[in-house]
């Protein structure tokens, strides 16, 4: 069966079912049987392989009771991110390459229905009164939704797909994100209950790295995870409690924040607290938890370097305690956080551990840092990533500038 006939059959069966059958009274099994019957009838005596028939039935069912176009995208493990900018524009990241999909949703109404279904799976709401929501799919994939009129191009949805197999340090070593020597040192730090903060930009692999690092937590400890949308995959720990924030309902009540969860976790006798990502005033509560005997805590945050992460922490603490002296904030950070690990996504799309820094303490108005590891690219690998040829000049300053523009971390 050629593609045009396939699409015509799927569209005809779907239209017939939605227009004539009482969908509200049909169970999923009954609807599946009816779709199979109609597809067979439509195909008739024409030869159609069994797997093609099954795919057509699945596509019709997905368009009525599933997530439509999203179902096939989610099943494709090579797709790591989905960006939907209105019902006509769907972009995917596949094997590190961003491209526009040659398919689209049937209408804006259909996309809105899919969004409501996705949001409802995690018990959340998105509407005109609450047009922005972070949620997740049942497999843990991270979802962000923005509705009009906030989103000018129509309903938008961004999905960061979640790997079905938990990340491990061994895989990070295999991918070249970290070396065996550094991994062994990090294992010692985690087991010794150092408070570790992981920083990096969007898509640098902070959550993935946190998942891998959590495998070093001793299996007999009591661990509490706190997240906006649950996506951590901590395995092998029996005494594990996962908690997730909740948005306010349509009446504006019932909101549960990360700050609320950190405060309540302190009454649950945790040995370690793992906060998926610190973004605002909850940084103060996280630091206080680290300073009150809950060693071995782990968290992540957005920043461009380990030094920048400290500045971001200061800003976030001020959001939660405006007027707190900067000196007191720095003392709190210096006594709470032991190690900052900075990750980055390079121009060749690889993710690397760029810096590991130890916080030694607070002295003379500054937080004292001790760089334990700084990733240095050699000149050849840097030049290999530059498109075109890099012409040398006799001016050392020009050479340095050219290499900096190419993403180098070396000095000539």
What is the per-residue pLDDT across 372-399, written as a single tens digit (0 to 9) for each?
888 866 544 433 433 333 343 444 444 4
Judge whether 369 and 358 are in contact, CB under 8 Å. Answer: yes
What is the per-residue pLDDT across 221-274, written as a single tens digit (0 to 9) for each?
999 999 887 778 888 899 999 998 887 777 777 889 888 999 999 999 999 999
pTM of the model: 0.72
What b/e string do you get for 193-217 counting C-beta neighbours within 10 Å, with b at 16 or more? bbbbbbbbeeebbbbbbbbbbbbeb
Cα dihedral across residues 291, 296, 301, 304: positive or negative: positive
Rounded alpha-carbon distances, angstroms, from residue 111 to 69, 143, 264: 9, 14, 37
Residue 51: its pLDDT value, please?
A: 78
Average pLDDT over the chain reads 82
Q: Across the beta sheet with 132-136, what order do the strands follow? A: 97-100, 90-94, 79-85, 156-160, 142-146, 132-136
């Amino acid at each position: 069966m050629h593609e045009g006939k396939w699409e015509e059959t799927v569209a005809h069966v779907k239209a017939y079912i939605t227009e004539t059958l009482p969908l509200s009274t049909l169970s999923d099994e009954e609807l599946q049987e009816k779709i199979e019957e109609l597809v067979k009838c439509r195909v008739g005596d024409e030869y159609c392989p069994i797997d093609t028939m099954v795919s057509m039935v699945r596509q019709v069912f997905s368009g009525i009771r599933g997530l439509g176009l999203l179902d096939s995208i989610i099943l494709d493990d090579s797709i790591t991110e989905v960006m939907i900018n209105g019902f006509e524009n769907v972009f995917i990241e596949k094997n590190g390459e961003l491209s526009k999909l040659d398919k689209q949703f049937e209408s804006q109404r259909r996309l809105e229905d899919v969004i409501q279904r996705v949001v409802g799976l995690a018990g959340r709401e998105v509407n005109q009164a609450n047009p922005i929501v972070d949620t997740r799919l049942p497999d843990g994939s991270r979802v962000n939704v923005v509705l009009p009129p906030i989103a000018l191009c129509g309903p938008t949805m961004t999905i960061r797909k979640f790997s079905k197999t938990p990340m491990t340090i061994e895989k990070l070593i295999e991918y070249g994100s970290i070396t065996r020597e550094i991994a062994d040192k990090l294992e010692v730090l985690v087991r010794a209950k150092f408070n570790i903060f992981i920083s990096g930009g969007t898509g640098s692999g902070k959550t993935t790295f946190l998942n891998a690092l959590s495998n070093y937590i001793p299996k007999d400890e009591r661990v509490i995870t706190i997240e906006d949308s649950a996506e951590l995959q901590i395995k092998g720990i029996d005494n594990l409690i996962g908690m997730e924030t909740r948005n306010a309902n349509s009446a504006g009540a019932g909101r549960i924040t990360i700050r609320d969860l950190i405060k309540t976790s302190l009454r649950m006798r945790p040995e370690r607290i793992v906060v998926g990502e610190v973004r605002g005033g909850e940084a103060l509560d996280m630091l206080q938890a680290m300073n009150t005997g809950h060693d071995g805590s782990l968290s992540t945050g957005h920043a461009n370097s380990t030094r920048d992460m400290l500045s971001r922490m200061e800003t976030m603490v001020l959001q939660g305690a405006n007027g707190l002296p900067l000196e007191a904030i720095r003392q709190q950070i210096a006594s709470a956080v032991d190690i900052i690990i900075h990750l980055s996504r390079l121009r060749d799309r690889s993710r690397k551990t760029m810096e590991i820094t130890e916080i030694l303490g607070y002295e003379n108005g500054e937080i004292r840092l001790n760089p334990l590891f700084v990733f240095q690219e050699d000149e050849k690998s840097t030049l290999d990533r530059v498109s075109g040829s890099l012409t040398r000049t006799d001016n050392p300053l020009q050479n340095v500038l050219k290499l900096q523009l190419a993403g180098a971390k070396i000095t000539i």
